[in-house]
Amino acid sequence: MGEISVSRESLDRLLADSSGTSGASYHEAFADLARTHRGRPATEIVPLLARAADRALLGLSPADLWEQARAISSGEPYVLRVTVT
């Protein structure tokens, strides 16, 4: 399980928002990768997650990205604990 703190203003970059915010959220990018990259090597998934995190301006650690990539690769659930500041 990973942990991240985000400001209230940044929450829409992390989570899918139905209010019409432009651009894809990190959550949407993660879900897309989980659908399309299950069974692929984590080494292939990490750079894609890193790009999505960079686009969303989220400070996910390399360890979190690897953890998420391993979960996507294996098809296991991944829990990210989010603290809104």
CA distance linking residue 76 with residue 59, whole number of Å: 23
Q: What is the tally of helices (H) and strands (E) in the chain?
A: 4, 2
User: Which domain does 9 fall in, by range?
Assistant: 2-15+24-84
The residue ranking higher by pLDDT, 9 or 43, is 43
Q: What is the pLDDT of residues 16-31, one digit of tens each?
A: 654 545 556 888 899 9
Question: For the chain, what is the domain count?
Answer: 1
Share of the chain above pLDDT 90, in %: 41
Looking up tokens 């989010």 gives 82
